[in-house]
Structure 1
Amino acid sequence: MQLSFFNNKFIQQLFMISGTVLALGDCFSVQAEILQSERPNVILILSDDQGYGDVGFHGNTNLKTPHLDQMAAKGVELSRFYCSPVCAPTRASLMTGRYYYRTGVIHTSRGGAKMHGDEVTMAELLKDAGYKTGIFGKWHLGDNFPMRPQDQGFEESLIHKSGGIGQSPDKPNSYFNSWLWKNGTQQKVVGYCTDVFFKAAIDFIDREKTGPKPFFVYLPTNAPHTPLEVSPSYWRPYQKAGLNETTAKVYGMISNLDDNLGKLIAYLKRSHLLDTTIVLFIGDNGPQQKRFNAGLRGRKSSTYEGGIRVPFLASWPGRFQEGMKSDQIAAHIDVLPTLLALTKTPLPETLKLDGIDLSSLLLNKSKALPKRSLFFQVHRGLTPQQYQNSAVVSSRFKLVGYPGTFGNENLMRSNEPTLELYDILIDPGEKNNLIQTKTKIAQQLRQQYESWFLSMRQSRNFEPGLIIVNQEKESPCVLCRYQDGNYFQGRSQGWMVKITHSGLYKIQIDKGQVQKSGKLIVNWQGRQTHEYLKQSESMADFELSEGTGLLDIWFQVEGEDRSHPTENGTVGDVILKRLD
């Protein structure tokens, strides 16, 4: 009887404890839901080659951008926001919060736009913190495993490959009815590319808006990057107003983008999402063509202000101060830490960032950011040279190194680098070089640059990301010669790869217009083999062993020397597929 009583009492107590635990669990669950609901959605829009002057609110009286102008009036503008002077480096820094040299990205093509797969991206961090993640537009950080968007934290993706629609490996292609890649599968879409990307983003939001998770949308358009394709209804009015055809088409593409921004904002309002959604709009670098740039010197690829200073707008109604404009320096590396803070997403202790958190500025909790300098450098070739096409930007002064040498892969350097110094606060057009009169300031900035460059070298020794040939992750594996092949002195030398499994591989090569017999040659790990191809053949089987190194594959016409195609085409592209 006593045992039975004890058991009954124990059971009663157990039920009481269980009820308390369940109640506490419900409480914690409610608190978690409240916390989750308080976390804002995020939309990050990045336009391509839209410079500082390519908006109405920067004094461009020829270009109509009413929705961007409204966003500037109702949100926050950072008027001294900087990006790298070309595409892929900006995207690497934006996604990681780190200077792009640390990520394996060197420039935009020819093996220089491959971000290491172990880099931790904004999408990975937000996904791990409970966000639904999607990208719609231009990735440009690697088209192979483990560098693709789906490998780097994006649960849904609709993108084009390479640096632009119509570039290899996706040739031929057009901004209208484009061939795109949805979650890794190629498909034909209907409509104009910017319209398609914005609609896909809105459809993604519409599916996720009632779910338990907030969403992160990355919307990097390829407009207004070349080729300059847009409906005549957008660009002919600018031409009729007296602008040349090139500028008219660029402005037409921007007007279309602005219209799509207006549709997105209208959708957020209708869906009662505007007050719970952070919207950022950023340009990725200066304009490619010569046109109005608000008095700034230089264009795309230049480290003068016109090449690296871009529009930055931030909107979060009720949270960001309406109409606030700040002239403090900020950059692409700051976006990730800022969004982590605003979304209450923890930063792993092992993850070292170069950017800082701007949230206190955007929320109007602090007027001053920490004193610092920002660093920029981009060039062709896979071997960075100190000072080449570089810049150091402080709150007032700017040091420019070897200006105009972006495309010079063999920079002829003297003992003393070519340097220029400008007081950006009073001379934003960089007209008055102070290098001879402000020697102390120039030396300070020079020392900062040299420390930065050494730090970049020590990160990965400027080695681009590695393509991993793994048929379980990517089958077949497409190796694009122009975009991803290693180039030396203007010639493709093959691809840096890691082959995870030894076996028999079918190798197919794009011979282009060559209709001759010859040899398909494979050089892997110091061993060169070949198979003869008839004039109608383009593929053969080869044994490849696992390992890491330079995989060089080419077709050589019988009786002729090896040719080295250099244009942005598909000739020399290779498809690998393991057969066993």
Structure 2
Amino acid sequence: MWRAAVVVMVVEVAVAVTRPHIVLIVADDLGWNDVGFHGMSHIPTPNLDALAASGRPLQRYYVAPVCTPSRAALMTGKYPIHTGMQHSVIYGMEPRGLPLSEKILPQYLKELGYKTHLVGKWHLGHFKREYLPLNRGFDSHLGFWTGKIDMYDHTNMEHDTWGHDFRRGFSNAYDLFGRYVTDVYTDEAIKVIEAHNASCPLFLMVAHSAVHSGNPNQPIRAPDDTVDSFRNISDPRRQRFAGVLAKLDESVGRVTAALQRRGLLRRALVVFTTDNGGVPQGFNDNAGSNYPLRGTKNTLWEGGVRGAAFVWSPLIESRSRLAMQKMHIVDWLPTMLSFAGGNVSALADIDGVDQWAALAQDGPAARHSLLHNIDDDYGNAAITVDDWKLLNGTTYNGTWDGWYGPAGRERPYNVSLVYDSEAARAAAALGLMPAQEHYLEMRDAATLTCKSDLPPIKCQPSSAPCLFNIKEDPCELRNLADEQPAAAGRLLAALRRARASALAPNNAADDPRGDPRLWGRVYTNFGDYGSSGGSIK
């Protein structure tokens, strides 16, 4: 019996040693055109571009239109309609969260022996402790619980109230007040990497605040010297946005370099993704760009749901080429489990599909259709099947149904910055950086344009469903619903089938107990306490 136990322990340790590391980096509200590897040139993103160049940029990758639904999809492998998370976001005083019946990504990975760490944003429910990261599979968490914070004072202002929201585990991290939050996340991620026992597999999720806007009094904040380095950008809001983005890019480089120093990078998967589309000037006090795509965050146009992302690993055979396979954020859970050597066939009732073979070997697409969302509270829905996309209904009464810049392509692209970046040096140390000419060809292929020899055909989705050939017309200029009634009918039928499986949204009214004024101006797990507020432990 004793010998058998020893054998089992040895086998478990051996399995743990062979499992690769996984680093998941999530940007907040990053637009399609906010990265250099998609054609933007006036804000350098050299570290992101270097990993895209030596990895696989995801050209046909989709996310949910807004934060909480997207993060729920990422964590569960399920469309938000199947978890009740499809409508809007969780607010600081809202007594709800991602249902506890859902098993999520870090819980699966812990079963495979992974050490799991979350740095940054949670936004999947905090009104009771059981909904928080340390009770949902993460070994550690430094960051915040609600939807946004100021980059320096770490407070969140929403619904006519405000409070501090920054935690180390369950405890308030007041000692970090005044530190720029992107630097805080980066330092914590590096600390986790440096302290990690390399004989165990690591899962590190870095969920950035950048490039989300903060509080209304000063919504876009970055260090003055970083902002000043973008004096070539005449628009002051876009200039400050450039500072926020530059610090995000710097963070990616520093984390990649730390992985290389510790010898973890050679057996690692690095995934970079936005949570939803970008936020252009005038929307949410921000200044991002989805150019040339249509729409914004919280719409179902391509600008709201087509995500900037790449996957990087020395274990990818088909590196340095665009991934043209259709992919959705729900696919990360089965794909990461497959990469980790888990039993993907045991996953039940999820919408995600294992894309590892398609990404690593440039194999055939693992999916041909995807649901963008069904939100009956907004009255909108969208689905893509093969090359066709159907959109029915809109948000904001159509106010944000247009095309928004800036293009940011008026300056020459400085490719030398990419190859001099920390991420490029780390990749080059493993022999993975392609020739500059090859990367520039990739970048050209990834740069979308909206030119068409045919005239636009208007679309008014609040009046009638719109149909687009999204492969030929990614900018959604030509509504072909009248020309292709059979295709429109097929997609409408697919939407009806999806709606039949949808759960009701689990949104809840604000609970007065959650007002941070009752808790010393702190957002807290108010559902675990009495009704009158008090001190937080």
TM-score by length of 1: 0.71
Deviations 1:509-559 (A, max 9, x none): xxxxxxxxxxxxxxxxxxxxxxxxxxxxxxxxxxxxxxxxxxxxxxxxxxx
Q: State yes or no: 1:153 paired with 2:137.
A: yes
User: For 1:507, which of 508, 528, 531 is the aligned residue?
Assistant: 531
Q: CA contact under 8 A between 1:115 and 1:142: conserved in structure 2? A: yes
Separation in 2, partners of 1:113, 1:51: 28
Partner of 1:164: 148
- Quote how far apart the aligned CAs of 1:93 are: 0.3
Task: Give the corresponding residue for 1:206.
Answer: 194
Deviations 1:213-244 (A, max 9, x none): 21111111011101211112222232x21331
Q: Is residue 2:226 matched to residue 1:234?
A: yes
In 2, the alpha carbon distance for the partners of 1:142 and 1:235 equals: 33
Q: 1:200 to 1:416 in 2, by over 3 A?
A: closer
CA distance in 2 between partners of 1:298 and 1:254 (Å):
21
Q: Does 1 or 2 have the higher relative contact order (CA < 8 Å, sep 6+)?
A: 2
Matched, 1:448 2:494: yes
**Matches of 1:64 and 1:245 in 2, distance apart?**
17
Q: State the aligned residue count.
A: 446
Letter in 1 for 2:514: C
- Identity among equivalent positions (%) equals 27
Question: Does the alignment pair 1:89 with 2:64?
Answer: no
Q: 1:407 to 1:294 in 2, by over 3 A?
A: closer
Pairing partner for 1:118 from 101, 108, 111: 101
- Helix, strand or coil at the partner of 1:393: strand
Q: Aligned-pair distance for 1:79? A: 0.7
Would you say the 8 A contact 2:394–2:461 is kept in 1? no
Larger Rg: 1
Work out whether residues 48 and 249 of structure 2, in 8 Å CA contact, stay in contact via their aligned partners in 1.
yes
Deviates more, 1:361-370 or 1:90-99: 361-370
Q: CA RMSD for the aligned pairs? A: 3.2
Q: 1:96 to 1:243 in 2, by over 3 A?
A: farther
* Distance in 2 between residues matched to 1:319 and 1:415, nearest whole Å: 41
Of residues 66, 81, 88, the one that matches 1:107 is 88
What CA distance in whole angstroms lies between the structure 2 residues aligned with 1:352 and 1:365? Answer: 26
Q: 1:294, CA displacement in angstroms?
A: 3.5
1:184 to 146, 170, 174: 170
**Cα distance in 2, alignment partners of residues 32 and 448 from structure 1:** 44
> SS of the residue aligned with 1:136?
strand
> Conserved in 2, the CA contact under 8 Å of 1:282 and 1:311?
yes
* 1:170-211, Cα deviation, whole Å (9 max, x unpaired): 9355xxxxx61111111121521011112112211222234x
SS in 2 for 1:199: helix
What is the correspondence of 1:163-562 to structure 2 with a 5 Å cutoff? 163-165=147-149, 166-168=155-157, 171-172=162-163, 180-188=166-174, 189=176, 191-210=179-198, 212-227=199-214, 228-238=220-230, 240-290=231-281, 291-346=288-343, 349=346, 351-364=348-361, 366-378=363-375, 384-385=376-377, 388-405=379-396, 418-457=464-503, 461-464=504-507, 479-480=513-514, 506-508=530-532
Deviations 1:99-123 (A, max 9, x none): 1232232311454962112211101
- Tell me if structure 1 keeps the 8 A contact 2:393–2:461: no
Kept after mapping to 1: 8 A contact 2:276/2:307:
yes
Higher helix share: 2
Q: Does 1:34 align with 2:14?
A: yes
Q: Does 1:52 align with 2:38?
A: no
User: What stretches of structure 1 of length at least 5 have no aligned partner?
Assistant: 1-17, 174-178, 379-383, 409-413, 468-476, 483-496, 500-504, 509-573
**8 Å CA contact 2:37, 2:52 repeated in 1:** yes
Q: Distance in 2 between matches of 1:87 and 1:113?
A: 15
Q: Do structure 1's residue 127 and structure 2's residue 161 form an aligned pair?
A: no
Q: What do the CA deviations read for 1:67-86 (whole angstroms, capped 9, x no partner)?
A: 11100110111111111111
CA drift of 1:340 comes to: 0.9
Q: TM-score, normalization: structure 2?
A: 0.76
